[in-house]
Amino acid sequence: MRIIGITGTLGAGKGTIVDYLVKNQGFKHFSVRGYLTKVINERNLPLNRDSMVAVANELRELNGPSFIAEELYREAMASGGDCIIESIRTVGEVTALQAKGGFYLFAVDADPKMRYSRIVERASETDKISFDEFVANEAREMTTTDPNKQNLSECMRMADYRFSNDQGFEELYRQIDTVLTQINNK
């Protein structure tokens, strides 16, 4: 059983990696966004990035920095088989999951303008923003000293494997296959 977590910048291709692992490698998918969407809907809050960040930070503050990821990890372990947990955003989540063993963290990044065009194209409820808002959202989530808040830059630094998603699907898939071969050979 392999459990992979994924972190990365906004619009970098986390979902693309998930789709590839699910469709081509048989992984089961566990999503922080899905978990938070359920909580947000239960609370009748607007479904947007601000609500996602606020609810996630509140849950972590009340239950510990790794709470959401550990909830998804428990679900993944109970499901059996290979799983991917999308999207790891705090140092506490990385530390807790890496301590469990058999866990690998993937980080993905790409050029900011390319990432913005991707989020505009996917047009999810949380992605209907200007480029300036996109840059501001990412800046807010990149660094912090609060262990309950997003720190994408440190999570990406802590990753076991890093992917660049500037050159299209085939190149990204090649990178993923290379890493999976390395993991399988350990």
Structure tokens at 85: 């947990």
User: What are the tens digits of pLDDT across the range 131-151?
Assistant: 898 888 888 888 888 877 889
3-state secondary structure of 28: strand
Nearest to 104 by CA among 25, 10, 23: 25
Report the DSSP pairing between strands 28-31 and 83-86: parallel
Residue 127 has pLDDT above 70, yes or no: no
Q: What is the CATH number of domain 3-184?
A: 3.40.50.300
pLDDT at 126: 63
Question: Is the pTM of the predicted complex or chain greater than 0.85?
Answer: yes
pLDDT at 125: 62
* Pairwise CA distance, residues 49 & 117, whole Å: 17
Q: Rounded to the nearest 5 degrees, what angle is found at the Cα of 30, between the Cα atoms of 118 and 183?
A: 90
User: What are the tens digits of pLDDT across the range 38-82?
Assistant: 999 999 999 988 898 899 989 999 999 899 999 999 999 999 899
User: What are the tens digits of pLDDT across the range 5-51?
Assistant: 999 998 899 999 999 999 999 999 999 989 999 999 999 999 988 89
